[in-house]
Amino acid sequence: MKAHSPAGQGPTGRAIQGLAVSRGVAIGRAVLVAAGRMEAVHRFVEPEQVQDELARLRGARDAVTLELQRLQAELPPDAPQELAALLEVHVLMLQDELLASGVRHWIIERLYNAEWALTTQLEVLSRQFDEMEDEYLRERKADLEQVVERMLRQLRGAAAPQPPAHAGEGTPLVLVAHDLGPADMLQFRRTPFVGFVTSAGGRTSHTAIVARSMDIPAVVGARAASQLVRQDDWIIVDGDAGLVIVDPAPEVLARYRDRQQQIAREREQLARLRHMPSVTRDGQAVELLANIEQPEDAAVAVRAGAVGVGLFRTEFLFMGRGGRLPDEEAQYRAYRAAVEGMQGLPLTIRTVDVGADKPLERGARDGTLNPALGLRAIRWSLAEPEMFRTQLRAILRAAAHGKVRMLFPMLAHLTEIRQAIAQVAQARAELDARGACHGPVQLGAMIEIPAAALMVRQFLAHFDFLSIGTNDLIQYALAIDRADEAVAELYDPLHPAVLRMVADVIAEGARAGKPVSVCGEMAGDPSLTRLLLGLGLRSFSMHPTQLQAVKREILQADAGLLVDWARQVLAADEPAACLALAPDGSAAAA
């Protein structure tokens, strides 16, 4: 994505750049959740009023707890799983002693009124959140703010934000706020909001998570939004580019309306492909798998038409837990839930991959110069064998309930391969020793370090299957930090060196008769589907939302015809230039 100025005035209207977190285009009138909502009356109370202030505080806390519990109880059965969990987090924060005792302190010792005490303690805790290494934890500051805001609303006797009553039937509305909490989002589910814009938040903020699961276009981190957007302004939310256009010129509006219609038509067409088998025109079956991050995503993947999960990134179960890792039982429950969600289809569980841009708080080491080259993924697992075997035992136990494959990230050395496999054997022996039930698993390796790609034959000798992690393979082959905006232009999946490695791994897998899939972002990019097919790939693993777009490419492709062309692309100095020249015409039909 190109960098835009944070806010620019041009013939198109005012454009505000944020982060694209949920795809699509929304056009509607802005509904602002009041800025300065944290403003509180600041006043000193008399010593004899302290008890009354404390009682007001307790009253507000109890009322908000009830409000949240009511929301929990009213959760519709199809509500995203995250919502229940997030509401629970808010209830827990309300009960948290650090918040409660801090606020009491300001009232009793400083004689602040309840509102002032609340915002003062919020500031104290906010600073602690800001200093946290872990991005996920840092973003929990927003939850605290939302909880405090609810309490302030109670103290003021005001109701939760609602869409304006004057909004006519059918008027599309876009919610613009500093930040939004899951409970607020929940209340907005049955309202006419067609898009969300927030000034705060990152890619893992709740607005982003919930908007994605609600499939509503959203832009977060659009810092200037709460100042530049006025109540009732027409705005466009471009969830693909992360752009918010305020008060658009008629021609811009027309262009976006066209795009909206085009997107709607495309979605309709794509949805029809869901139950179609994924086979090329010349009869080559292609396996389409899903990448998931949470156990409950397994069922979503199956509903989206995936024939299995090719990558379950388990590290998200390990993060944001204040350094306490999930024990064997908790992990077993999570993996078993995912296995059961698969309804008999295979689930590939990748062992924990923390480090680099996915730090675990206790693994986040100050002063690490190159985290992407440090103690990450399998290296961390092998350095902490107890932790590793806890995970392996949980996976092996879950494998008693369905088809499970185990995948190891970031292997580069034969010694690592031997150690990882030995740890699996030991974990199994530990389960046997205590008479615990476990099931068979196939073992696989991620090919995501150039060294692994170059010694793929040795990998194939030790593993049942391979999965190419192109996200990291590109990062390590080209020495481009995948999280660094400054070098993002150089991060090129079509670099000849990258393509050569991908091609070799696919070819060697075929020669050895062992399955090879691609589970990096390349697999979910429809513009690369034909190239990967031409290179012989028959297994793609991607985010479930991409499945139908990739399937469409497969249905239009003639795999036999693509082989020679793919060879030419591989030999070209500039493979990108050859991409549009695929021989079967599917590009034109797409």
Residues with a known catalytic role: 206, 519
State the minimum distance, in angstroms, from the CB of residue 520 to Mg ion. Answer: 7
By CB under 6 A, tell whether 115 contacts ligand PEP: no
Site string for ligand PEP, 372-411 (x = CB under 6 A): ----------------------------------------
Q: Which of 527, 541, 532, 521 is nearest to 559 (CA)?
A: 532
Q: Which is nearer to Mg ion, 13 or 355 (CB)?
A: 355
By CB under 6 A, tell whether 493 contacts ligand PEP: no
143 binds ligand PEP (CB under 6 A): no
What whole-number distance in Å separates Cα of residue 278 and Cα of residue 535? 17
179 is in an annotated binding site: no
Query: Residue 297 interacts with ligand PEP (CB under 6 A)?
Result: no
| Interactions with Mg ion, residue window 518-547 (CB under 5 A) | none
Using rule CB under 6 A, residue 204 touches ligand PEP: no
Task: Report the residue from 353, 361, 553, 584 that binds ligand PEP according to the rule CB under 6 A.
Answer: 353
User: What is the 8-class DSSP label of residue 310?
Assistant: E
Residue 527's binding partner, choosing from ligand PEP, Mg ion, none, with beta-carbon cut-off 5 to 8 A by kind?
A: none
Nearer residue to ligand PEP within complex by CB, 469 or 515: 469
| DSSP class per residue in 352-398 | P--BTTB--TTT--TT-S-GGGSS-HHHHHHHSHHHHHHHHHHHHHH
Q: Is 185 in the site for ligand PEP (CB under 6 A)?
A: no
Which residue in the set 469, 493, 509, 526 belongs to the binding site for Mg ion (CB under 5 A)? Answer: 469
Cβ 73 to ligand PEP shortest distance, Å: 36
**Which DSSP category does 213 fall into?**
H
Minimum distance, C-beta of residue 388 to Mg ion, in the bound complex (Å): 17
Contacts of 34 (CB under 8 A, 6+ apart): 161
CA 514/CA 523 separation, integer angstroms: 19
If we measure between CA atoms, which residue out of 157, 192, 201 comes closest to residue 63? 157
- For Mg ion, the closer of residues 149 and 472 by Cβ is 472
Q: Which of residues 432-461 bind Mg ion (CB under 5 A)?
A: 448
Q: Hey, CA dihedral for 269, 270, 276, 281, is it positive or negative? A: positive
- Alpha-carbon gap, residue 73 to 81, rounded angstroms: 13
Specify the 3-state DSSP secondary structure of 287.
strand
Q: Which of 234, 229, 193 is nearest to 211 (CA)?
A: 193
Q: Which is nearer to Mg ion, 377 or 559 (CB)?
A: 377
List the single partner that 28 binds among ligand PEP, Mg ion, none, CB under 5 to 8 Å by kind.
Answer: none
Residues whose CB is less than 8 angstroms from the CB of residue 576 and which lie 6 or more positions away in sequence, other chains included: 492, 494
- The binder of 313, among ligand PEP, Mg ion, none, by C-beta within 5 to 8 A per type, is ligand PEP
Strands 234-238 and 7-10: unpaired
Considering only the stretches 260-268, 324-332, 468-476, 564-572, report the one whose residues sit in contact with Mg ion under the rule CB under 5 A: 468-476
**Partners of residue 193 on adjacent β-strands:** 173
Radius of gyration of the chain (CA): 26
Is residue 190 annotated as involved in ligand binding?
Answer: no
Residue 340 marked ligand-binding:
no
Of 171, 204, 471, 545, which lies in the binding site for ligand PEP, with binding defined by CB under 6 A? 471
Q: Is 525 in the site for ligand PEP (CB under 6 A)?
A: no
Helix axes 141-156, 114-130, angle to 10 degrees: 170
Residue 520 binding partner per list ligand PEP, Mg ion, none, with a CB distance cut-off of 5 to 8 Å that depends on partner kind? ligand PEP
**472 sits near Mg ion (criterion: CB under 5 A):** yes
User: Do the annotations mark residue 472 as ligand-binding?
Assistant: yes
Could you tell me the smallest distance in angstroms from the CB atom of residue 350 to ligand PEP? 8
| Shortest CB 352 distance to ligand PEP, Å | 11
CB 377, CB 416: distance < 8 Å: no
In this chain, which of 27, 151, 174, 519 binds ligand PEP, going by CB under 6 A?
Answer: 519
Sheet holding 218-220, edge to edge: 7-10, 13-17, 243-246, 234-238, 25-32, 173-177, 193-198, 218-220, 19-22
C-alpha pair distances (Å), 177 with each of 107, 197, 206, 242? 30, 6, 13, 16
- Known binding residue 511? Answer is no
Binding site for ligand PEP (CB under 6 A): 311, 313, 353, 448, 469-472, 519-520
Binding residues for phosphoenolpyruvate: 313, 350, 471-472, 482
Binding residues for Mg(2+): 448, 472
Binding residues: 313, 350, 448, 471-472, 482
Binding site for Mg ion (CB under 5 A): 448, 469, 472
